[in-house]
Amino acid sequence: MKRSDRLVAITNYLVDNPMELTSLPFFSSTYNAAKSSISEDLTIINKMLQQEGIGYLESTSGASGGVKYVPSYSKENSERFIQRLRTQLEDPNRLLPGGYLFMSDLLGEPSTVRAIGRLFATAFSDMEIEVVVTVATKGIPIAYAVASFLNVPVVIVRRDPKVTEGSSVSINYVSGSSRKIQTMVLPKRSLQEGAKVCIVDDFMKAGGTINGIRDLLSEFNAEVKAIGVLAEAEDEEEERVVEQYTSLVKISNVDVKNKHIEVSKGNLFE
């Protein structure tokens, strides 16, 4: 195999298996090349990944060592995407009653959702996340995008139990925005005891839903390592019940009557 062909093949494998440690002998055997040649290939790939601002290769020495691809958006790429996202969300036609924004079209664009997933994966890549958790339904695309880059499974919290999922754990929680008592459930088989999790959602106002998910996860003794929200709403009248989180954009100064809205950068870069 020519080096140019091998570079493409190895890069494709690494990108398809992020955060997964792969030994040099595996590449050497798979592509019938000397370890020294594979090492040179990996050096070239690492240089190009960093140059493009989409990640880097992390090497581990020793008998059980190897190399893994760590997805990481550069600050330049991140800010460029956030600016484009702000421009799209500031469209007054997106305003809904109650100061909410219509975002379903953005969450239906694979390229946009993938970029969102890469941003959160960049922020959480060093936290040893084992599971990405979200609540049905709008947070599901984001959860799968984040999980694809962290190479971990997704667990979906639902509002009502499904007979096909067996016994479940359920809790009642107070919605931060509507102040209503609501229920969420999680099948017992869906999450291992003591798992390290990341919670993601598309929108957060007061944070009641995320706080409810956190309480539900405590029934599994899960450790919440990170919380990521696509958009947070800035509302002086609502008391925020979630403090530690990462947001991509912040929605403020919503004027439904005059159809005006301001969208600024979230706390991702803080």
pTM over 0.85: yes
Half-sphere exposure of 147 (CA within 13 A, CB side): 20
Tell me: pLDDT of 236 over 70.
no
Tell me: pLDDT of 249 over 90.
yes
Residue 96 shares a structural domain with residue 45: no
Residue 32 shares a structural domain with residue 60: yes
Distance CA 133, CA 226 (A): 10
Tell me: pLDDT of 258 over 70.
yes
What are the tens digits of pLDDT across the range 89-107?
A: 999 988 887 767 889 999 9
**Among 49, 71, 93, which residue terminates a domain?**
71
Angstrom distances, CA of residue 226 to CA of 121, 146, 193: 11, 12, 17
pLDDT at position 56 is: 97
What are the tens digits of pLDDT across the range 56-100?
A: 999 988 776 799 999 999 999 999 999 999 999 999 988 887 767
Domain range enclosing 150: 75-269
pLDDT at position 163 is: 73
Question: How does the average pLDDT of the chain come out, rounded?
Answer: 91
Residue 49 shares a structural domain with residue 95: no
Residue 235: phi and psi, rounded to 5, are -135, 110
Three-state DSSP at 41 gives helix
Residue 55 shares a structural domain with residue 169: no
Residue 38: phi and psi, rounded to 5, are -65, -40
Distance CA 151, CA 13 (A): 13
Kindly state the average pLDDT of the residues 128-155. 96
What's the CATH code of the domain at 102?
3.40.50.2020
What are the tens digits of pLDDT across the range 193-220?
A: 999 999 999 999 888 899 999 999 999 9
Three-state DSSP at 175 gives coil
Residue 105 shares a structural domain with residue 219: yes
